[in-house]
Structure formats: C-alpha cells, structure tokens
C-alpha cells in the first residue's frame, strides 16, 4: 500500500500545477474537477492506510484544520432551514426579509443555493489541508510541494508573457479575448498577479534553503561555491523567479506588484533581524530580488506602465471604493452571521446608492468575508492566518534546519503579500488562489513541526533530531 500512498502524493503535486490551468478553477465545471480530485485522493488514502489513518500527523496542524472545520460548520448553519421565529433569534433582518415573501421557513443565508456551493468548496479546502497533512510527512516531500508551486508559477508566467509578446488576441484553449496584459490561464489579470506573487515568495524561500551559513574562509572555497551555485538547481529556480517577475510586471497589476515589493522588503527586513544563523548571502538575495528583478527587469518589460496606472488612480473616481463603503451598511445589518457565503452579488444591489454597474465581488476580501460570513467567522480565519505567520517567525528564529527556515521565510512573505493584495481585490474567490494560499498556510505550519531529517511525523515525536547547540542541519 506504500506505492498507492506515493501515487496519491504525486497526484497531489499534479493537482497543485493543475489548479490554475482551467481558468483559475473559477468556473463551476473547473472547481468541480478539483472537488472530485481532492475527494478521490481522500478516499484512496483511506484505502492505502487500510482504514487506519495516521491521525497523529494531524495534531501538528490542529489550529489550521480546526479553524477550517469551524468555518465550514458556520457555513453549514447558513444553509439549514429555520422557522422564522427561530431565525429571528439569530438575525432579525434576515427573518424580516423572508417574511416579506410569506415564507414559512428561512435560512441565515439570503442565497442558500450559493451558500451550499460555497460549503462544498469549503469542505474541499478542508480535505485538501487534511490530505496535505497525511501526505507531506518529510522535509523532502515538503520541498517537492514548494518546487511544484514554483513550476506551476513559471508555466503560468511563461504562457502569460509569451501571449503578450506574440500579440496573441485569443486564448489557445478557451478562445477568450486577450489584451496586451498578461493573464496566463486566468481570466482576470490580478488573479494571475496574486498567484505569481505567492509562487515568487515560495521560490525565494527555496533558494534560501540552499544558501551557505558558514564562512567561505578562502578564495578557493568561495570560487568553488560560486561554481557549485551556477551548476546547482538553485540557479534554475533563480531563472524561474526572473520569468515570474517579468510576467508579474506584464500583468500591469498595481497592487500585485506593490504587494510583492512590500512582502519582499518587509519579509526580508524581519528575517535579517530574527534569522537564526543567518545565511551570509541572504542580504544579497533580498537586495537582488528588489533591485535587479523589480527595477531592471521591470524597466525592460513595462514597470513604467504599472507606475503610470498607480499615478492615474483616483480614489474619487474608482467605483470599487464606493462598493466597499456601501458594503459597510450590509455589515451593519448582518454583523454576526452575514448574508450567506456566495450571496454578495445578490445582496449588494439592495444597498447600491447609484448605478455603478454590476459587482459580484466587493474587490476587498476582508469586506466580502465579513458581509457573507459575519464578523466572528472572519475573525476565526484571521486567527488561522496570524497563527501561521507567528509559526513562520518562530521557525526562522529557533530552528536549525536550513530547509525549514527557508520555506518558513517564503511562507511568511507570501502571507504578507496576500494580506496586502486582498485589501483591494477578491483573490481568495478563485479556487486556484484559495487552495494555493491554504497550501502556504500548511507549509508555514509544516516547517515548525516536520522533522528536519526523517520520513513521518507520525513516527517521530520530536520536531528535530538531537543536535549540538548551533549546528545547522544541511537538509
């Protein structure tokens, strides 16, 4: 059955690459494929372990998994029919709306069918995290997961940038119109920018895992290390990062580029302060990513156009800012249980004060989650993210493993970038971006608990092998 478990792990890696390909898995048929894929993985894992799953491996991720489970239970409550008298105890406004159509029962959600769709998605997200906890049980597998994300990001970047440079006017598979802006296999440029930002951060973390922490000592050793670096996979990953930065700039995404720049700068500054046994080349790496990639590459491939879009942006004329402001009225009326997951497009027109067009999303995931799920459930998700971020900090500060510290560094930057980007867009709505961010949160927790050398957290109780103080594990 070990071979079957390995087969599921490889299918997990393929899934990571597949998710953004069918329009970011942001169509019903596309996310249905991902849902069936994840469900099949879960079923095969049960068969592979002959019904005796290593639940001990889940203890290391209890905050992440219980948080996701709690949120799905919350959404489940939104889809249950309640007598109006009972419903009024939870939300008087919701009960009143259902009473207007003489309904005998009502839901906490004002669009129960879309909330049911969101619930199935949410269960898929939970199973994805559970499968990751079972499958990614060693540092080697964790690096393969990170590498798969970099490969996926590079493919998206190459495809998106090539389509722009070749002046392609129609997407190859789905026949969607293309402009002089990189979108990859996504429909919306900001979704590609967000995906590339995550892949870039994880890719930087992968490079950090291969940096030396000891002094070179002599020109002979220094030259040897330089040559080894040129010939090593690290240089290939570095090339992938350059390709992704080119595509990120070509998306013309203002906040996507800003989020990556701030995540790199702020994340690098934090790491330089707290990094245990800091690699000597870490400072040079951070500076090179900011200076060479962002400035030099950006100047060649259109950073000036991104800057122009930022300058021309006017808060007064941006209708999406009005969407956020008017959404605050929805939050005031439905503060606890929200209007139901997936219901924003149906509820917002009732609160729109002028004709600004159709908005199915708030262009601010913080606002949209509070509108749809309510403040308590949104705070629950926020606690998961904050906990994962703090675990990254702790891993960078205390662990000896180069692999774990490097990937924690990449995850920390990805979290910072995502928290910035979702303040102006709906990047957690496409399944590809949402599952990828859950994967980042998983990596953040895995770097704090997986053994530096070993094969299974279910078999190894300690997070690292006994080491002499100050010794770095070169895994």
What are the tens digits of pLDDT across the range 99-139?
Answer: 999 899 999 999 999 999 999 999 999 999 999 999 999 99
Residue 459 lies in a domain: no
| Cα–Cα dist 233/227, whole Å | 12
DSSP state of 21: T
Res 354 pLDDT > 80: no
Residue 335 lies in a domain: no
Question: Which position has the higher pLDDT, 146 or 258?
Answer: 146
What are the tens digits of pLDDT across the range 240-278?
Answer: 998 999 899 899 888 898 899 899 999 999 998 998 877
Q: Residue 230 has what pLDDT?
A: 52
Tell me what the mean pLDDT of segment 396-419 comes to: 96
Residue 141 lies in a domain: yes
Other Cβ atoms less than 10 A from the Cβ of 207: the count is 25
Residue 104 lies in a domain: no
- Angle among Cα 159, 163, 169 to the nearest 5 degrees reads 140
Let me know: does 138 contact 451? Beta carbons within 8 Å.
yes
What is the value of pTM for the model shown? 0.90
Number of domains in the chain: 1
Q: Which residues form the domain of 368?
A: 136-315+361-449
Residue 56 lies in a domain: no
H-state helical runs in 209-338: 219-231, 233-250, 254-274, 282-288, 298-301, 303-312, 319-333
């Amino acid at each position: 059955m070990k071979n079957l478990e390995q087969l599921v792990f490889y299918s997990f890696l393929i899934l990571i690459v597949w998710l953004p390909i069918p329009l970011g898995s942001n169509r019903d048929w596309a996310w249905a494929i991902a849902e069936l894929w994840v469900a099949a993985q879960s079923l095969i894992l049960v068969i592979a372990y002959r019904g005796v799953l290593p639940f001990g491996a889940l203890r290391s991720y209890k905050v992440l998994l219980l948080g996701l489970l709690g949120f799905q239970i919350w959404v489940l409550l939104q889809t249950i029919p309640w007598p109006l008298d009972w419903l009024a105890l939870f939300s008087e406004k919701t009960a009143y709306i259902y009473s207007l159509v003489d309904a005998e029962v009502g839901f906490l959600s004002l669009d129960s069918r879309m909330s049911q769709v969101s619930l199935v998605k949410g269960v898929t997200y939970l199973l994805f995290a559970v499968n990751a906890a079972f499958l990614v049980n060693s540092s080697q597998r964790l690096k393969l997961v990170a590498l798969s994300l970099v490969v996926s990001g590079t493919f998206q970047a190459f495809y998106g940038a090539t389509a722009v440079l070749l002046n392609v006017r129609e997407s190859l598979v789905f026949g969607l119109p293309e402009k002089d802006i990189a979108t990859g296999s996504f429909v919306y440029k900001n979704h590609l920018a967000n995906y590339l930002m995550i892949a870039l951060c994880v890719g930087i973390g992968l490079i950090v895992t291969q940096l030396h922490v000891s002094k070179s000592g002599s020109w002979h050793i220094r030259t040897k290390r330089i040559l080894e670096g040129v010939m090593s996979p690290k240089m290939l990953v570095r090339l992938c990062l350059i390709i992704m930065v080119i595509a990120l700039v070509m998306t013309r995404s203002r906040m996507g580029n800003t989020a990556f720049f701030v995540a790199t700068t702020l994340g690098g500054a934090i790491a330089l302060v707290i990094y245990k046994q800091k690699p000597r080349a870490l400072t040079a790496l951070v500076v090179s990513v900011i200076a060479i990639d962002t400035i030099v590459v950006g100047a060649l491939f259109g950073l000036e156009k991104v800057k122009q879009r930022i300058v021309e942006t006017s808060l007064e004329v941006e209708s999406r800012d009005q969407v956020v402001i008017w959404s605050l009225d929805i939050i005031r009326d439905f503060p606890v249980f929200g209007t139901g997951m997936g219901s924003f497009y149906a509820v917002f027109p009732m609160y729109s004060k002028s004709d600004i067009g159709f908005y199915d999303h708030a262009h601010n995931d913080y606002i949209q989650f509070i509108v749809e799920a309510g403040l308590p459930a949104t705070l629950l998700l926020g606690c998961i993210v904050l906990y994962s971020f703090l675990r990254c900090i702790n891993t960078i500060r205390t662990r000896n493993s180069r692999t774990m510290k490097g990937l924690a560094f990449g995850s920390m930057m990805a979290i910072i970038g995502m928290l910035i980007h979702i303040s102006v867009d709906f990047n957690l709505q496409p399944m590809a971006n949402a599952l990828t961010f859950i994967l980042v949160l998983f990596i953040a927790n895995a770097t704090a608990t997986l053994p530096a050398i070993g094969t299974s957290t279910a078999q190894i109780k300690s997070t690292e092998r006994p080491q002499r103080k100050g010794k770095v594990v070169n895994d």
